[in-house]
Amino acid sequence: MNSSDLQTVAIDLADRSYNIAIRGSLFDNPLSYAELPKAASALIVTNTTVGPLYAVRLQRALANKFGQTYTVTLPDGEEFKNWQNLNLIFDALLAHACDRKTILFALGGGVVGDMTGFAAASYMRGVPFVQVPTTLLAQVDSSVGGKTAINHPLGKNMIGAFYQPLKVVCDLDTLKTLPQRELCAGLAEVIKYGPIADMDFLAWIESNLDALLARDPAALAYAVKRSCEIKAWVVGQDERESGLRAILNFGHTFGHAIEAGLGFGVWLHGEAVGCGMVMAAQLSARLGLIDAFFVNRLTQLIAKAGLPIKAPVLPGPNNAERYLALMRVDKKSEAGDIKFVLIDKPGNALVRGAPDVVVRQVIDTCCA
Ligand code: NAD
Ligand code: GLY
């Protein structure tokens, strides 16, 4: 695939449909925003790291479209994805007398995207927003599909809304400034799509991992496009996660427990998901769904992508019980029964419970 060609992936959701545009030189090009509705004002939401790199260029690109373009800059980090900092967005919207037509622009990674989307869903009961994702993780996953949220100290992404953007502008050039640890974290969500939906894609990632780690533009362009296509296919069938969409949470049940258990921001989300996929694959094998060969194949890929494969021991007296307690507040849990996304054959996932005794064995093995 030629990285200089504009790629478009459609999210098909009736009157909430939109496009994902993928290429370099996109986010600061006024044409990227030409089809958006006119409005008196726009608000760019960014953070203290991404803002200095890109906010002025986005502001310039929006200048002729909107009467006024304002910027609000949030503190950077998963630990700031909370009520207090969500309020900074509402403070800015109200201070600038933003109205119902004001368009919010989420300029940053998944934290900025999730918070901006939630603010857009709730300000004046809903204003439009655009995702301008600048991390690999946000380009392949979080900016697409309309899940928006903030964290609660007791659980990850526990307060939020389903709310779709008007458009997603994935500018591959922004990945050039991404720290390598963040690039690796994004690869976790790329790898995820293989075992749950597309084994050809998994094989492609295995063959192109070095190119991805070296930020080869063509490899990144294909990884973003194929990931968005798979996500679009899933979200198009199950926008609000009444069933199928839960497969996108492969590795997340264990991963969210790692993030909340260690304290948000200690492990990156993608690192926790990478390790969580190893744990979920091991659980799948212990339940007789897949063989050890596939678990090893996936584990090796995750390790080669620079992600942790050994789970952390969580603070507190009983590690396995702490994991279980945290996973019971996962959004997929029903009446306290934890539901896991498991691989039942390579390329296919299902959601089901598992006996606590087997889950404890997986936790003990993975933390050892
Ligand atoms: P992030 O938003 O914290 O960004 C990672 C780091 O990279 C931050 O320090 C950020 O400031 C910095 N950064 C961003 N773009 C940069 C750039 N171009 N150059 C230099 N630095 C840059 O983390 P993330 O991995 O993008 O997103 C993780 C979040 O996404 C989590 O909160 C997770 O829950 C959420 N998420 C949501 C969904 C969804 O469907 N809504 C899916 C997956 C993950
Ligand atoms: N990242 C999981 C989802 O969008 O459903």
Which residue ranges make up each domain of the chain?
A: 7-177, 185-367
Q: Using an 8 Å Cβ cutoff, are 111 and 41 in contact?
A: no
CATH topology of domain 7-177: Rossmann fold (3.40.50)
List, by residue number, the catalytic residues. 125, 147, 189, 231, 241, 245, 249, 252, 256, 269
Could you give the angle at the alpha carbon of 337 between the alpha carbons of 334 and 340, nearest 5°? 95
CA dihedral defined by 19, 21, 27, 32, rounded to 10 degrees? -60
Q: Looking at residue 366, what is its pLDDT?
A: 98
Q: Looking at residue 129, what is its pLDDT?
A: 98
Q: Using an 8 Å Cβ cutoff, are 152 and 128 in contact?
A: no
- State the Cα–Cα distance between residues 89 and 73, nearest whole angstrom: 9
Q: Looking at residue 335, what is its pLDDT?
A: 84
Q: Looking at residue 59, what is its pLDDT?
A: 98
Q: Looking at residue 154, what is its pLDDT?
A: 84
One pLDDT digit (tens) per residue for the chain, 368 residues = 777 899 999 999 999 999 999 999 999 999 999 999 999 999 999 999 999 999 999 999 999 999 999 999 999 999 999 999 999 999 999 999 999 999 999 999 999 999 999 999 999 999 999 999 999 999 999 999 999 999 998 888 999 999 999 999 999 999 999 999 999 999 999 999 999 999 999 999 999 999 999 999 999 999 999 999 999 999 999 999 999 999 999 999 999 999 999 999 999 999 999 999 999 999 999 999 999 999 999 999 999 999 999 999 999 899 999 999 999 988 888 888 999 999 999 999 999 999 999 999 999 999 98
Q: Whose CA is nearest to atom 21 of ligand 1?
A: 178
- Cα(135) to centroid of ligand 1, in Å? 6
Around ligand 2, the residues with Cβ closer than 6 Å are 141, 145, 147, 245, 248-249
Q: Which of 11, 142, 180 to mutate to test the pocket of ligand 1 (most atoms within 8 A of CB)?
A: 142
Q: Using an 8 Å Cβ cutoff, are 367 and 319 in contact?
A: yes
Q: Looking at residue 310, what is its pLDDT?
A: 98
Q: Which of 118, 245, 253 to mutate to test the pocket of ligand 2 (most atoms within 8 A of CB)?
A: 245
| Max Cα-Cα span within the chain | 61
Measured distance between the N- and C-terminal CA atoms of the chain, rounded to whole angstroms: 42
Looking at 1.20.58.220, 1.20.1090.10, 2.40.50.100, 2.70.50.60, the CATH number of the domain 185-367 comes to 1.20.1090.10
Tokens 């809304």, residue located: 161
